Amino acid sequence: MRRAGPGDAGAMAVMRYDFRTELGEPVETKPEFVERATAWLAHRLELGSWTGWLALDQEQPIGLVLAHLVEKVPNPVVEPESLGYVSSLYVRPECRSRGLGDALLRTAVDFCRGHGVESVVLWPSPRSVPLYERHGFRHQGEVMELHLAALDPPELRAQGGGRQWSCS
């Protein structure tokens, strides 16, 4: 296993496509997605805003995990000011059940721990839940989510901007 760099973005994009299309029908062709995701990944790996690792078999990528450190607004009380986000944990189907997913996840979690993060979040696929549970992840009810695309009509989404508020 090794840390991924911008030059690995193409292989990472292919694995991301393979991972996500195991879960649902794609809305773009593989070449279109790989081009778009390669540029996205290369840029973020270059900036250091995302960190990735590859599992290798004879120098060929067979697994992937990404981590992103999310800063929270400073707090005057005792509360963590950052969290880790783990994404895209994937092992090629023919290489599964050999401990690669465990090793990739451990690497990403250790990276977060090493940066002082107290909580790590992720969105698991149904198949991956047992893996995450073995590593101590639990479903939490604290997070609230708003799906902006579900708000209709579009005019309602725009309301509120430009209003003047008064406290008197």
Domain total in the chain: 1
For residue 80, cis peptide bond before it (omega within 30 degrees of 0): no
Specify if 144 maps to a domain: yes
Q: Does 18 score more than 90 pLDDT?
A: yes
Is residue 150 one of the residues assigned to a domain? yes
Token pair belonging to 50: 């995302």
Interval 103-145: pLDDT, tens: 999 999 999 999 988 899 999 988 899 999 999 999 877 665 6
Structural domain includes residue 166: no
The verdict on residue 164 lying in a domain is no
In a domain, 167, yes or no: no
Residue 54 to residues 12, 24, 44, 63, 151, Cα–Cα distance (Å):
8, 24, 16, 5, 38
pLDDT at position 59: 93
Residue 138 lies in a domain: yes
Q: What is the pLDDT of residue 156?
A: 52
Residue 17 has a pLDDT of 97
CA distance 93 to 19: 9
Residue 13 lies in a domain: yes
CATH of the domain at 93: 3.40.630.30
Confidence class for position 157, pLDDT limits 50, 70, 90: very low
pTM score: 0.84
- Output the pLDDT for position 161: 53
Does 117 reside within a domain?
yes
pLDDT class of 40 with cuts at 50, 70, 90: very high
The closest of 56, 124, 140, 126 to 86, measured between CA atoms, is 124
CB burial readout 71-94, b (16+ within 10 A) else e: eeeeeeeeeeeebbbbbbbbbbee
Pair 127, 97: CB distance under 8 Å: no
| Separation of alpha carbons 2 and 55, rounded Å | 7
Question: What range defines the domain where residue 10 resides?
Answer: 2-158
pLDDT tens, 47-96? Answer: 999 999 999 999 999 999 999 999 988 889 888 888 999 999 999 999 99
Q: Which amino acid is at 93?
A: P
